[in-house]
Amino acid sequence: MNLETYINEFSKYVICLIMILYTVECFCVFLHSDEESRKGLYFRQNILMFAFHFCSFMVICFETGKVAYLFFYAIQQVILYMAVALYKWLYPKTNRLIVNNLCMMLSISFVFLTRLDYSKAVKQFIIGSTSLVIALIIPFFIRSLKLLKNLKWIYAISGIFLLGLVYVLGTITYGSKISYSIGGLSFQPAEFVKLIFVFFVASALYQSSTFPEVLFSAIIAAAHVGIQVLNKDLGSALIFFIIYLFMVYIATKNIFYVIAGVLAGSGAAVFAYKFFAHVRVRVQAFIDPWSVIDSAGYQITQSLFAISSAGLWGLGLFQGTPETIPFVEVDFIFSAIAEEMGIIFGICLLLVCLSTFIMIMKISADLSDKFYQLIAFGLGICYIFQVFLTVGGGTKFIPLTGVTLPLVSYGGSSMLTTLVMFAIIEGLYMIREDEELEKKKRLELKRQKKEKRRRELKKRRAEEARKEKIRDMQSKNDRYAYEDDGDEIIYDEHLEEVYENVRYIDHARREEKPAVSERREDVRKIVRTGDEEVRRRSDDRKKSKRHKTEEGRRRPEERKKNVRHNPEERPRREVYRNRPDRYYEEEYYEDEYYDDRYYEDEYYEDDRYEPDEYYDDEEYYDNEEYYDGPDYDD
């Protein structure tokens, strides 16, 4: 084995490994919910994309020995880098997975078209660069223009007109009218009409999905499909039909329309097989290509030979024979890629397309506006179904349809349409980001209003409670009650009388000196409207039992102080008149002073209880014997 063989063998493994890593990064994107957390993945994708492009062109230059390929490679690198950078700079809110996949598929296209036909590769590069410039301004218009919803009739008329123009002025290419030329440039209007058709169905069904609207849209859709059948472009007719069928189901959620569409499609397929000879030829080539291998089955058999000879890792660039497949750069580009890069590389390419489709569906699901949601869904169906038709036809999974692989196959109209399609999706993603931002603003505003109402309510309740407490504290109708075996004595304003009676009871208790005092748990009860705090504080004081401690017990000399005749205490007593709860903070109100036996009725029947004598005779209070006389000694 010479050096060229070693380089080729080594390069195909490196290129395949790069593609595997890139594919893994595509699906790792879905593990993150926002673009900010995906930046590392996107950066690695860009590195892998440029690494693949570099390795592939190094192999091409080594195999061909032409330095011109290096300049071509350098220009391609500049365009790809500018595409990534400009999308990121002009539209920071775009979805970079779609941009990266777009650039990756363009690089694959440039590599294999350079391998197959250098002149077509240059032409494709020029069309692709121009299309990228056009695609850069599409997201701005999608995001800004709000009148796109109201152009239903314009979409319908323009689509039918462009397809009818092909029927009148189009040139026949291999039995089908698919294009016409203007100024030496060939166009395929059916590629652009796909986008217009998606906008038509979305504008027709986003407001109302009733039967009249569905019927009207079905008539217009049938006109598109019928013109393409007359042009014998059955691949495009099938794409129109599938787009409409799926979009109607999403808009109406009615399975009846899907069943009716499948039945109608089956009838149309039978009709096409009966009345179109080239359809019968393609069906025959699909069923048994080996029986017509020298004619109608030649393309499909050569494609199967190429794929089967590739193996998992492929033969390597310039080691296969894709030139033996007719129209390999258009209809069978996937077979050429699988032959020289391997089946693993081909599967990874399909997975990259699948990741793009999944992202488009995710964007569609996240959009709240039904019009934009239908557009994203329709464009996603158009893209993935076109991939399915191309790969399925090349692998004998379905009959050949002549549809190109988006962004990879040769074709200016297909490339421009696909780039515009991706640009529209980027514009829809920006609308989705705007909707998310607006939703977050609404939620934040709602939360702020709710918080403000909560604070105001709390403040209002606190103010009402404060005012209620002030009214209760300042009210002259506060009621205090002392329970005496069920008899309740209520004093409203005669607080001094209560105080003096308590002092008298204290003296009487010291005179009697009972051996056992039967204490009640609750000897007094505060009946005060609206003041629960005072009630709680009173209960706490009763439970503290300070009378059992030395600090809580008052000395006898302290008991001799008669507050009634102490001039220094009188102002404070006057202040306390409006704050009666403070009386119970005095030491005179300990529970021990309120023994039950001194509240018995017989106690008050005793002759010694003569309140008038004690209260009226001030001299008696001044007499020292009142406190120290023999009647009160221990």
Closest CA to 273 of 265, 281, 262: 281
How large is the angle between the packed helices 370-394 and 234-252, nearest 10 degrees? 140
Question: DSSP code of 173?
Answer: E
- pLDDT confidence of residue 184: 66
Q: Which two tokens stand for residue 168?
A: 């009148």
Question: DSSP code of 525?
Answer: B
What are the beta bridge partners of residue 484? 487
- pLDDT confidence of residue 534: 52
Question: DSSP code of 606?
Answer: S
Q: CB of 80 within 8 A of CB of 50? A: yes
Backbone angles phi, psi at 311, to 5 degrees: 75, -175
158-177 confidence digits (pLDDT tens): 999 999 888 888 777 766 77
- Residue 482's identity, in one-letter code, is Y
Q: Which two tokens stand for residue 628?
A: 């120290």
Helices then strands, each counted (H, E), the chain: 24, 5
Q: Which two tokens stand for residue 236?
A: 């495009």
Report the distance separating Cα 433 and Cα 364, nearest Å. 12
The predicted model gives 395-403 an average pLDDT of 87
227-245 confidence digits (pLDDT tens): 988 888 888 899 999 999 9
- Residue 115's identity, in one-letter code, is R
Range list of β-strands (E), 229-380 = none
Give the distance from CA 626 to its chain's centroid.
88
Q: CB of 233 within 8 A of CB of 190? A: yes
**419 HSE (CA, 13 A, CB side):** 25
Closest CA to 132 of 475, 365, 419, 373: 419
Q: CB of 383 within 8 A of CB of 421? A: yes
- Residue 511's identity, in one-letter code, is E
Report the distance separating Cα 600 and Cα 602, nearest Å. 5
Largest CA-CA distance found in the chain, in angstroms, rounded: 146
564-612 confidence digits (pLDDT tens): 444 444 444 444 444 444 444 444 444 444 444 444 444 444 444 444 4
Backbone angles phi, psi at 313, to 5 degrees: -105, -5
φ/ψ bin of 112: left (φ > 0), alpha (ψ from -120 to 50), beta (otherwise):
alpha
- pLDDT confidence of residue 516: 36
φ/ψ bin of 545: left (φ > 0), alpha (ψ from -120 to 50), beta (otherwise):
left
286-328 confidence digits (pLDDT tens): 888 888 888 888 889 999 999 988 888 888 888 888 888 888 8
130-169 confidence digits (pLDDT tens): 999 999 999 999 988 888 888 999 999 999 999 988 888 8
Pairing of strands 176-182, 171-173: antiparallel
- pLDDT confidence of residue 78: 93
Closest CA to 49 of 1, 109, 3, 7: 109
Residue 317 buriedness (CB in 10 A; 0-12 / 13-18 / 19+): buried
Closest CA to 14 of 42, 51, 60, 45: 51
Report the distance separating Cα 577 and Cα 575, nearest Å. 5
Q: Which two tokens stand for residue 487?
A: 């008899």
- pLDDT confidence of residue 114: 93
Give the distance from CA 159 to its chain's centroid.
36
Q: Which two tokens stand for residue 26?
A: 């595509």
Report the distance separating Cα 384 and Cα 356, nearest Å. 9
- pLDDT confidence of residue 594: 45
Nearby residues of 356 by Cβ (< 8 Å), 6 or more positions away: 97, 98, 101, 383
Q: How many residues does the chain have?
A: 634
Q: CB of 439 within 8 A of CB of 449? A: no
Report the distance separating Cα 238 and Cα 230, nearest Å. 13
Report the distance separating Cα 475 and Cα 486, nearest Å. 27
Report the distance separating Cα 418 and Cα 406, nearest Å. 6
360-383 confidence digits (pLDDT tens): 999 999 998 899 999 999 999 999
Q: CB of 293 within 8 A of CB of 304? A: no
53-94 confidence digits (pLDDT tens): 999 999 998 888 888 888 999 999 999 999 999 998 989 888
Closest CA to 360 of 421, 310, 415: 421
| Cut 0.75: pTM above it | no
Question: What average pLDDT is seen over the chain?
Answer: 78
Report the distance separating Cα 618 and Cα 623, nearest Å. 9
The predicted model gives 97-123 an average pLDDT of 93
Structural domain boundaries in the chain: 1-145+288-437, 147-275, 481-632
Give 131-160 as a 3 state SS string.
HHHHHHHHHHHHHHCCHHHHCHHHHHHHHH
List the single range of 439-448, 535-544, 624-633 with lowest mean pLDDT. Answer: 624-633
- pLDDT confidence of residue 492: 41
The predicted model gives 526-548 an average pLDDT of 51
φ/ψ bin of 173: left (φ > 0), alpha (ψ from -120 to 50), beta (otherwise):
beta
Report the distance separating Cα 200 and Cα 216, nearest Å. 11
Banded model confidence at residue 474, pLDDT cuts 50, 70, 90? low
Percent of the chain as helix, strand, coil, to the nearest 5: 75, 5, 20
- Whether the predicted pLDDT of 619 surpasses 70: no
